A and B are shown apart, each in its own frame.
Chain A
Amino acid sequence: MEQLKTIGLEQLKTIGRELAMGSQSGSGWGLSKEFLDLVKSIGESRSKAEEDRIVLTEIETLRKRIIEPDIPKRKMKEYIIRLLYIEMLGHDASFGYIHAVKMTHDDSLLLKRTGYLAVTLFLNEDHDLIILIVNTIQKDLKSDNFLVVSAALTAVCKLINEETIPAVLPQVVELLCHQKEAVRKKAIMALHRFYQRSPGSVSHLVSNFRKRLCDNDPGVMGATLCPLFDLISSDVNAYKDLVISFVNILKQVAERRLPKSYDYHQMPAPFIQIRLLKILALLGSGDKHASENMYTVLGDIFRKSDSSSNIGNAILYQCICCVSSIYPSTKLLDAAAEVTSKFLKSESHNLKYMGVDALGRLIRINPDIAEEHQLAVIDCLEGTYDILDIRFWKIIANKDPDDTLKRKTFELLYKMTKSSNVEVIVDRMIDYMISITDNHYKAEIASRCVELAEQFAPSNQWFIQTMNKVFEHAGDLVNVKVAHNLMRLIAEGFGEDDNGEDSQLRSSAVESYLRIIGEPKLPSAFLQVICWVLGEYGTADEKYTASYITGKLCDVADAHSSDDIVKGYAVTAILKVCAFEIAAGRRVELLAECQSLIDELSTSHSTDLQQRAYELQAVLGLDAQAVERIMPLDASCEDIEVNPLPLMIMSFLDFVNVDIDKGLLFLSTYVQKSLENGAKPYIPEQERSGMLNISDFRNEDQREASSPALRFEAYELPKPSVRASSPVPHASSTDLVPIPEPTYVKELQATSRPPASDTGPMELKLRLEGVQKKWGKPTYSSAPSASTSSSQKPVNGVTQVDGMGTISSQKHEVSYSSRRPQVEISPEKQKLAASIFGGSSSKTERRLSSTGQKTARVNSPAMKKSEVASAEHPSEKAAPLQSPPPDLLDFEEQSVPNNTPSVDPFKQLEGLIGPDEVSSTNNHGAVGANRPSDLLTLYDTPTTSGLSSSVANLPQTSMDETNLMSTLPNLSNKSIHGENIGTHQAPLRKGPNLQDALEKHAVARQVGVTPSGKNPNLFKDLLG
């Protein structure tokens, strides 16, 4: 069988000739010479065009023949088959559909079945002709001949849509008790299909599936598992009572109690076993009690499955999946790790693939367990280079062309990345990314590179280089947000307190961009980043003169004259450079090329470009003071640096130069007064309804950890000390005692997850417990343990944090520190394993530090105070995070002339973060001056100080109105900072995604407004 006969054309011709001579011997094909000729000539055709010609002739012939009167039935059947053949080759055979439909009405079984076959292949459930078939199907479902019934059931599966389900449902249900097991099976499958189509239509029949589970025929029972799997995945709890039954069935199957005929390659009913294992994985997930019932049988299967056959390995793999999904058992994970290592060591690529997948599951579930079984796993991961298995590198190296395996391995590496191996892994990933042509996958790899680089970059330089590479090769493929994110990262730094580092990052970015800028064929997204960064920081460290930078920017605009967005970025960048110059009191003399660019753009077809060009000219006409007023400067220019203004400058210029109070400033006094008198702050309409949903959105947002969502958190530094400092947003840790040891055995039900299983994905899952039940497969971590909403809040990056988050972080610190020494004492091999699996656990840290970053900020003392404040002013609580969305919306929806709403949020801000914010902003200049190198001032310091001072100021809400007025521009200026990165993208995101975008920006803003702090000492203070 393996050796399917190879047939060449020669052979085909011979057979053709035979047939032509009228010999039907042997073949029994029962088809005419015509059809054979057709197949033959198509087989011989040299080109697609020739083939098409042949098929078109055939279509013409058939079109004529098929309507002839009195066609013999046999002939008709052949015509229909020829039609099927033609359609399979990609040609339209719709003229014959009606004949296929007619054929289903035929009394002859052969024709009826052919008719049904044809209609299932030709038609879809919404086709007009279906109405002609429903009646026949109804009749046939009642037929005495079981073959007719089966044929009709096949058609039911394919052709019945939601509206026609009721027409056939009674008959199908009746067939569940048909005497033939083949029919019963198909009836179950048909009901399953109905369930998939429209769950509501068969909801009252669900009990039938349970009943059929006890069918005498194992085949029918096996078929029932399909719909049950679907039902259980949508509502696990309703089927917990079946756990015992499933376990018993599985036991019986594994013990070979089924008839011999169900054996396949010496394995007892393997497909049924696999299905049962899938179901058990669902039922046992997060349910200790249910899981315990399964342990024995799973252990048996591990022992009994034959790892020499393909199907045996399929069962073993499914077993690993099951074990890694249910509540963990040491013994089983032990066995799973063992099998995994066997897979990995296998020569077969298929098994390696499964092994890599299985290892990924095990690591995700519990790195500690992997650590415990490190010796088993290390055997297959003999680390040679760094922590990475030579086998992996072999797979990745170009010599080995198995792309599937490579992808899978990269997926695993991605999960294993930590700061110590990020360089190797990301470099490999980029090499791979460059080598592949599949854009879909390229984009995915690119965004993974970006994600890893952001989180683990060992140095700024490396980070910039990596990003350059990614953008150079996949710039137009990556999500536009990634570019915006990069800009933001460069602008904000990485949340470090060390500002020197941030400015170093910027200057190395500027350096490298200046080097790269001349290269041809840079992707548009990358050029945008380059322009933006050059505009912001090109002249910041005074290494390059303004005219040098503007010259470069002009070159970019010239070289990409067809790309309006890049040109827009370039002009705005020039504007910024000039503005900085003017503000610094230097004269700006535009280069000739620059002038001509401006001239050209002011007559551009694009109003956007025109606007920018005019703005640039307007700014050039202002004196230093005016510029300073637009963009409040302080001695160190920090404000401007952190206050980038592409696009949005226009609203300012309007604001300042044109004598119209578009911001409705004149109202602000009034608004302020009302606020003081207890009026509620204005909440834009879009927010009012959406308020409650916002945290949900955010939740969802975070779920997609790998998606290129904006990420502003600091990446993990290679210092080990960071570990202890990252607070763990622990879902269930609130009621947990500090856990001294990392063994999951000790772990209490309350935790429902091992203390050290802080792996990233795990972490993510945990956090989303509430959500997950609905959309994802729950892991054991989502045990019915208390996942208080309060403990989830910090995770969402929302301002409100209760003390619990902090406490849990403390506990984790304990568990961390108690764990590490162990690792260190371990012998060589264990160390290696530890670093591999530590890799995954440090992924946790990184996830933690990324998510934790938010929490860290939130948890910082200043924030605690703000909490107090917000507790006192509950109405104010939600607003700070609500305020961003309208901004964004406004920018998207409002044209430049009317920027009223763009001011609104600030009023809100004032009202919310309040007087203090304003006063602190007033101080801002001073603050900036005091700390000339503090690049984070804008996002962090003012708010922090504002918040901390808010505690003091809270009782007396009175405030200096004039103060407010005078600082308004500042405030708006500030808010624009948050926005402007997104502005370019805004038009693109219009439509259904709007809200999503909005949420993301809300997060962005929120993070910006929240004090940051990654300083481990902060927590020490907190925790005493």
Chain B
Amino acid sequence: MIRAVMVINTQGKPRLAKFYDFMPVEKQQELIRSVFVVLCSRAENLSNFVEADSIFGPDTRLVYKHYATLYFVFVFDDSENELAMLDLIQVFVETLDKCFRNVCELDIVFNFSKMHMVLNEIIFGGQVLETSSTEVMKAVEEITKLEKASNAISLVPRSVSSWQS
């Protein structure tokens, strides 16, 4: 089972943190910090796997991938395959890339909810739900379309006035 997904930037700021078992906020911060410390200490061209039992408990490991200013981190237990998780990160990032056309950290910061939407389509309750970025994109687009449709009616009049205040 996947325990957590994190996106942390190279300064250690969390950009996304999703824990599939509930964690209190303080604990989340602590975990993010310790993961960041571990990641920082690793040079380039090393393996993408880190045994994480000192952070997340026995038999956990994490797989990370470093893209530009961001670390994508998946934490999971021994029922998952490391290499496959690495590819899942790839799927996630690929999808984000399709979503935002050449994704960058800013997209992620400001489209916080969209990123969650994408992630929810890929991982559901700690299990891998969908691994095709095309399928995920389809779902996300559909959602966005419907959301817009449903909002268009109620929001148009007020949003114009309130938007830039």
Give me the interface of A with B, judged by CB distance under 8 Å: 1-7, 11-12, 15, 22, 27, 29, 31-33, 35-36, 39, 42-43, 72-75, 81, 84-85, 87-92, 108-110, 113-114, 117, 121, 124-125, 145, 147, 154, 157-158, 182, 185-186, 189-190, 192-193, 219, 223, 226, 229, 261-262, 264-265, 270-271, 274, 278, 310-311, 313-314, 317-318, 348-350, 352-354, 401-405, 407-408, 438-441
Residues of B within 8 A of A84 (CB): 112-113
B97 — nearest CB in chain A belongs to which residue?
A1
Interface centre among B25, B42, B143 (most CB of A within 10 A): B25
Q: Are A271 and B84 in contact, CB atoms less than 8 angstroms apart? A: yes
**A226 contacts across to B, CB distance below 8 A:** 127-128
CA distance A15 to B110 in the complex (A): 12
Interface residues of B in 41-96 (CB under 8 A from A): 42-43, 45-51, 53-54, 67-70, 79, 81-84, 86-88, 90-91, 93-94
Top-10 shortest CB links A-B: A314-B83, A124-B22, A349-B47, A4-B68, A5-B104, A440-B54, A157-B125, A90-B29, A1-B97, A109-B150
Q: Does B17 contact A (CB under 8 A)?
A: yes
Q: If the complex has contacts A109-B150, A145-B146, A185-B129, are A7 and B82 also in contact, measured as CB distance less than 8 A?
A: no
Measured CB to CB, the closest approach of chain A to B17, in angstroms, equals 6
Provide the bound-state CA to CA distance between A1018 and B68, in Å.
68
Please tell me which one of the listed residues B53, B81, B116, B158 contacts residue A274 in the complex, with CB atoms under 8 A apart: B81
* Given the contacts A32-B163, A109-B146, A154-B124, A81 and B113 also touching, CB distance less than 8 Å: yes
Q: Decide: B135 and A72 in contact? CB cutoff 8 A.
A: no
On chain A, the residues within 8 Å of B70 by CB distance are: 4
Are A72 and B43 in contact (CB-based, < 8 A)? no
Chain B residues with Cβ under 8 A from A81's Cβ?
A: 112-113
**Residue in B79, B87, B127, B147 whose CB lies within 8 Å of A192:** B127
The answer to whether B46 touches A3 (Cβ under 8 A) is no
* Contact across chains for B151 and A108 when beta carbons are under 8 A apart: yes
Whether B128 pairs with A271 at a CB distance below 8 angstroms is yes
CA–CA, A278 and B127, complex, Å: 14
Interface of chain B residues 127 through 165 with chain A (CB within 8 A): 127-132, 134-135, 139, 142-143, 146-148, 150-151, 154-155, 158-159, 162-164
Query: Could you tell me the distance between the alpha carbons of A75 and B106 in the complex, rounded to whole angstroms?
Result: 21
Contact residue among A22, A109, A439 (Cβ-Cβ distance under 8 Å from B147): A109
- CA gap between A7 and B102 in the complex, in Å: 12
A321 to B42, CA, bound (A): 28
Residues of B within 8 A of A403 (CB): 42, 50
- Measured between beta carbons, the chain B residues less than 8 angstroms from A402 are 42-43, 46-47
Is B40 positioned at the interface, with any CB of A under 8 Å from its CB?
Answer: no
Residues of A within 8 A of B69 (CB): 4, 6-7
| Complex Cα–Cα for A127 and B70 (A) | 32
For residue A278, which residues in chain B have a CB less than 8 angstroms away from its CB? 79, 81
Question: What is the distance, in angstroms, from A390's C-beta to the closest C-beta of chain B?
Answer: 19
Report yes or no: A90 in contact with B109, Cβ–Cβ below 8 A. Answer: no
Also in contact, A22 and B124, with CB within 8 A (given A73-B154, A92-B25, A404-B46)? no
Given contacts A6-B69, A87-B25, whether A349 and B45 have CB atoms under 8 Å apart is yes
Residues of chain A contacted by B142 (CB below 8 angstroms): 147
Residues of B in contact with A (beta carbons under 8 Å apart):
13-14, 16-18, 20, 22, 25-26, 28-29, 42-43, 45-51, 53-54, 67-70, 79, 81-84, 86-88, 90-91, 93-94, 97, 102-106, 109-113, 116-117, 120, 124-132, 134-135, 139, 142-143, 146-148, 150-151, 154-155, 158-159, 162-164
Which residue in chain B gives the minimum CB-CB distance to A321?
A: B81
> A residues within 8 A CB of B163?
32, 74
Contact A404 to B50, CB < 8 A, known contacts A7-B69, A261-B134: yes
Determine if B53 and A401 form an interchain contact, defined as CB atoms under 8 angstroms apart: no
- Of B26, B83, B155, most buried by chain A (CB within 10 Å of CB) is B83
A179–chain B nearest beta-carbon distance, Å: 15
15 A–B pairs (Cβ distance < 8 Å), ordered by A: A2-B67, A4-B103, A6-B68, A6-B69, A11-B106, A42-B13, A73-B155, A158-B20, A158-B22, A185-B124, A264-B91, A264-B132, A354-B82, A402-B43, A404-B51
Partner of A72, one of B22, B104, B162: B162
B93–A404 touching, CB < 8 Å: no
| Residues B68 and A5 in contact, CB atoms below 8 Å apart | yes
> Which of B67, B88, B94, B143 is the one whose CB lies under 8 Å from A147?
B143
Q: Would A113 and B132 be within 8 Å (CB), given that A92-B25, A314-B81 are in contact?
A: no
- Please measure, in the bound complex, the distance between the C-alpha atom of A405 and the C-alpha atom of B47, giving whole angstroms: 7
A35 to B162, CA, bound (A): 14
Interface of A, secondary structure class, is helix
Q: Which has the most chain B C-beta neighbours within 10 Å: A7, A36, A439?
A: A7
Closest to A347 in B: B45
A705 to chain B, nearest CB (A): 15
Q: Is there contact, CB below 8 Å, between B47 and A39?
A: no
Q: Counting chain A CB atoms within 10 Å of each CB, which of B45, B46, B67 scores highest?
A: B46
Q: A190-B125, A192-B127 are in contact. Are A317 and B112 (CB under 8 A)?
A: no
B16 closest partner in A (C-beta): A88
Residues of B within 8 A of A408 (CB): 51
CB distance from A573 to the nearest CB of B (A): 36
Q: B110 to chain A: which residues have CB within 8 Å?
A: 27, 29, 31, 35-36, 39
CB distance from A251 to the nearest CB of B (A): 20
B102 and A5 contact, CB distance less than 8 A? yes
Question: In the complex, which residues of chain B have a beta carbon less than 8 angstroms from the beta carbon of A190?
Answer: 125
Q: For residue A22, which residues in chain B have a CB less than 8 angstroms away from its CB?
A: 164
Q: In the assembly, what is the distance between CA of A145 and CA of B94, in Å?
A: 28
Partner of A90, one of B25, B83, B126: B25
How far is A192 from B148 in the complex, measured between Cα atoms in Å? 32
Which residues of B lie under 8 Å from residue A114 when comparing CB positions?
113
CB-defined contacts of A189 to chain B, threshold 8 Å: 124-125, 127, 129
Which among B16, B43, B111 has the greatest number of chain A C-beta atoms within 10 A?
B111
Give B122 Cβ to nearest chain A Cβ, in Å. 11
Complex CA gap A147/B81 in Å reads 31
Partner of B46, one of A11, A158, A401: A401
Q: Is the CB of B84 within 8 A of A1?
A: no
Instruction: Output the nearest chain B residue to A92 by Cβ-Cβ distance.
Output: B25
Minimum CB–CB distance from A14 to chain B (whole Å) comes to 11
- Asked if A117 and B113 sit within 8 Å, CB to CB, the answer is yes
| B22 to A: closest C-beta gap in Å | 3
Return chain A residues, CB-CB under 8 Å to B93.
1, 4
Min C-beta distance of A237 to chain B, whole Å: 20
Q: How far apart sit A741 and B26, CA to CA, in the bound complex (Å)?
A: 60
- Which of A33, A108, A408 has the most chain B CB atoms closer than 10 A to its own CB? A108
Q: Once the chains are docked, how many angstroms separate the CA of A278 from the CA of B84?
A: 13
User: B106 and A12: CB pair below 8 A?
Assistant: yes
In the complex, the answer to whether B109 meets A350 with C-beta atoms within 8 Å is no
Measured in the bound complex, the distance between the Cα atoms of B113 and A85 in whole Å is 10
A158 contact from B94, B125, B130, B143, Cβ within 8 A: B125
